[in-house]
Structure 1
Amino acid sequence: MVSIREVAASAGVSIGTVSNVLNAPDKVSPATVARVHTAIERLGFVRNDAARQLRAGRSRCVGLVVLDIGNPFFSDIARAAEQRAAENNLVVLLASTDDDAERERLYLETFEEQRVFGLLISSAREDLDRLHALRERGVPIILVDRDGRGTPFPSVTVDDKAGGLVAAHHLCQTGRRRIAFVGGPLSLHQIADRLHGARRAIQEYPDARLAVIETSAPTVLAGRRAGEHLSTASDRPEAIFCANDLLAIGVLQALTSHGIQVPADIALIGYDDIDFAQSTLVPLSSVRQPSTHVGSTAIDLLVAAAEDRSFIDHISFEPTLVPRASTMPHNAG
């Protein structure tokens, strides 16, 4: 294998200059950087990152652990995190747990073995002992899509209770009173919080009531099953609030297959405002989460925590209502 010494000799610079080009290029003139990179390409040099990590104590890689990368909300977080990480000379390594505790454990162990720069994690686990142990061993950790108040971990999240409140308020303000909440599992705190907010809103309308249809997962297929059930129910609701847009898309498919018109027969609102929400058969009202802000802010918090182990900050973004055709008021033309 080509050594860093050979690269230095070919470029006519010192070994230290090559090291700076690889690790801190801002310390080297652009002309020298270009000359070193030319030598690297000509010789086919590949640096030994494992050795560099051993010397530095950590890599330039950030571990991002999410619940489900198939959910566009987490995909958007990952994309924004990658962009902000690149601005800080960092690279994001992505892991999706599918809410599996054993997979989460394996990913955390692997990232620690790789001496990652730090961890961004969206975990459904109430027990944070493993994260506490990692932090004690010097791994900076940021909780993502989870309020870290009461823990030693900085966090960035979205106020899901406020989101549930605004969604249910919107449905009631369009004249609907028999409302169904579709979402699950309720063990996921994000979904439970959205339901909590919806219940608070319903309490402000004495003639309104909220039925809860818990699903096994927040997916299109689970939404379709819930929609099939609601389509044939004797006390069919006037409106449905789905805990995310994937569920809402599945519900919309089921309602449409039964000849139920949205919003004339049933109003429908989702959550997340994924890109596809505005392109469904009936443009879907939704509650928008600022997922890109969550991803970029998580990296900002991680960089701060890496520089100062005592750093703790908790940032909560407010979701916003995005009304579309699926919740048009009863009396609208």
Structure 2
Amino acid sequence: MAIAERGARPARVKDVARLAGVSVGTVSNVLNGRRSVGEEVRERVEAAIEELGFVRNATGRALRTGSFPMVGVSVLDLTNPFFMEAAAGMDRRLRQDGFVMALSSTHSDAGEEARTLRTFAGQGVRGVVVSPTDTDLAVAHEIAARGVPVVLFDSPAAPDDMSSILADDRAGAAMAVEHLIGLGHRRILFLNGPEHQRQSRSRLAGVHDGIARSGEEISLSVEELGSFTAMEGRAGVRRLLVGCGLAAPMGTDGISVPARPLTVEGLPEELPTAIFCANDLIAFGAMTALRDAGIRIPEDVSLVGFDDIEMAAQMSVPLTTIAQPTDELGWVAADMLLTEPVTVRHETLMPTLVRRRSTAAPRG
């Protein structure tokens, strides 16, 4: 590669065009990833860029177009691996076209979401991907009306002015319950997330779908947790175990110890034979609480999660879970913003059941 001498004028688009024997417009099309350029011409332009050591002036381009090579991404919770794995898919797609990602969390707070979206729009980003806190999309509509493309991520809303993508939570939850019923489970606990979040409502509806389709008499208990976290999952199962007399009060080290030696015959009827958790983090916490009380997985209680985050397969008992196509969700969300001309699209991807060692036939 030809390296410019110290103090020499940096290569410009005109220089690239002259060396490649094409117009400035063609160089611009190559830089912007447009598909109208033939392969042979694209290769000549890329070779000229390499030879001249051309570096695109993003600031100058932004001043001319009013848009910076940046995409804003707003998710509910940066500590949730589902959103981080999806963001990795977005990042790969964005970098393919020379964009960078500004990632922010709303902490499931509608006011924080509004401030974040307006900040992104004010910074002249190319577009915004947002996982909405609820069904009120007023601010998303507001910035879309200002000409900022918006993609709703993990959202079933299908407005006319912005694209959306999600996995079918309801179908995934039905798969999980049907799997447990197929193994013979008839006493099932569903540890759900907060009712105000759309994912919680969709997954609960899926649980009822799966039971209805089975035609079996199922004893279903539902507990709404405060958040989609391992700590909440552990606390929820601890409450169950203490109520069943299977766990003593917490010790000074924060560990729940068995109240008495356990055998399959000694487990009470009120202890469900299976627990379905609204995400994998809740399942990890549930797994810890069961282990602390001396209850085996899956011999005593089967356990199912949702999301199939990377750690699900690495647990001491690998977790049966509903796999969301997380990387694909992220990739497609970013692609919706970058594909030209920008058109409104609404896509729903299907999850799949991944069976591992945490589920088996019911005890006894």
Q: Same fold (TM over 0.5)?
A: yes
**1:280 paired residue number:** 315
1:313 is the counterpart of 2:345: yes
C-alpha contact 2:152 2:165 (8 A) present in aligned 1: yes
Post-superposition offset of 1:83: 0.4
Verify: 1:76 aligned to 2:92, yes or no. no
Matches within 5 A, 1:1-333: 10=8, 16-17=14-15, 25=31, 29-30=45-46, 32-37=48-53, 47=57, 49=59, 51-203=60-212, 204-234=214-244, 235-304=270-339, 307-308=341-342, 311-330=343-362
TM-score, structure 1 length as denominator? 0.87
Q: CA deviation at 1:61?
A: 0.6
Tell me how far apart the structure 2 counterparts of residues 8 and 29 of structure 1 sit (CA, whole Å). 24
Query: Alignment partner of 1:271: what SS?
Result: strand
Structure 2 residue identity aligned to 1:307: P
Partners of 1:8 and 1:14 within 8 A in 2: no
Structure 1 residue 239 displacement after superposition: 0.7
The 1-side partners of 2:57 and 2:162 are apart by 34
User: Is contact 1:11–1:35 with CA below 8 Å preserved after alignment?
Assistant: no
Q: Which amino acid aligns with 1:299?
A: A
Change (3 A) 1:17 1:95: farther
Consecutive unaligned residues in structure 2, runs of 5 or more: 18-23, 32-41, 245-269
Q: Return the letter of the residue paired with 2:15.
A: T
Match of 1:222, as an amino acid? E
SS where residue 322 of structure 2 aligns?
Answer: strand
Cα shift readout 1:11-30 (whole Å, capped 9, x = no counterpart): 58557437978995559745
Counterpart Cα distance in 1 of 2:203 and 2:173:
4
Supply the distance in 2 between the matched residues of 1:36 and 1:56 (Cα, whole angstroms): 25
Counterpart residue identity of residue 208, structure 1: I
1: CA distance, partners of 2:46 / 2:89: 28
Residue 146 of structure 1: how far off its partner (Å) = 0.6
Return closer, same or farther for 1:7/1:137 CA change in 2, 3 Å cut-off. farther
AA at the equivalent of 1:321: L
Which sections of structure 1, spanning at least 5 residues, go unmatched? 1-5, 41-45
Residue-by-residue CA offset, 1:199-256 (whole Å, 9 max, x unaligned): 1112234321211111000001001101101223332111110000000000000011
Residues matched between the structures, number: 317
Shift of 1:35: 5.0
The residue that corresponds to 2:267 in the other structure is: none
> TM-score, with normalisation over the residues of structure 2?
0.80
- Counting helix residues as a fraction of each chain, which structure ranks higher? 1
Q: How much has 1:112 moved relative to structure 2?
A: 0.9
Which whole-Å CA distance do the structure 2 matches of 1:185 and 1:7 have between them? Answer: 61
In 1, distance between residues paired with 2:15 and 2:114? 40
How far apart, in 2, do the equivalents of 1:168 and 1:231 lie? Answer: 22
Partner of 1:327: helix, strand, or coil?
coil
Are 1:288 and 1:321, in contact at CA under 8 Å, matched by a contact in 2? yes
Q: Give the conservation status (yes or no) of the 8 Å contact 2:295–2:301.
A: yes
Change (3 A) 1:114 1:99: same
Q: Specify whether residues 241 and 31 from structure 1 end up closer, same or farther in structure 2 by C-alpha distance, changes over 3 A only.
A: closer
Secondary structure in structure 1 of the residue aligned to 2:78: coil
Write the letter of the residue equivalent to 1:160. Answer: D
Greater alpha carbon shift after TM alignment, 258-267 vs 143-152? 143-152
Per-residue CA shift, 1:32-70, capped at 9, x if unaligned? 4245438x7xxxxx9572x53231121111111111121
Larger-gyration structure (1/2) = 2
3-state DSSP class of the match of 1:85?
A: helix
Q: Contact (CA 8 Å) 2:128, 2:151: kept in 1 or not? A: yes
Which residue identity lines up with residue 293 of structure 1 in the other structure? E
Alpha-carbon separation, structure 2, partners of 1:48 and 1:293:
28
Counterparts of 1:244 and 1:151 in 2: how far apart (Å)?
A: 31
What is the root-mean-square deviation of aligned Cα atoms in Å? 2.7
Identity %: 34
The 3-state SS of whatever aligns with 2:184 is coil
Q: Give the aligned residue type for 1:161.
A: R
CA separation of 1:314/1:7 partners in 2, compared to 1, >3 Å: closer, same or farther?
farther
SS at match of 1:201: helix
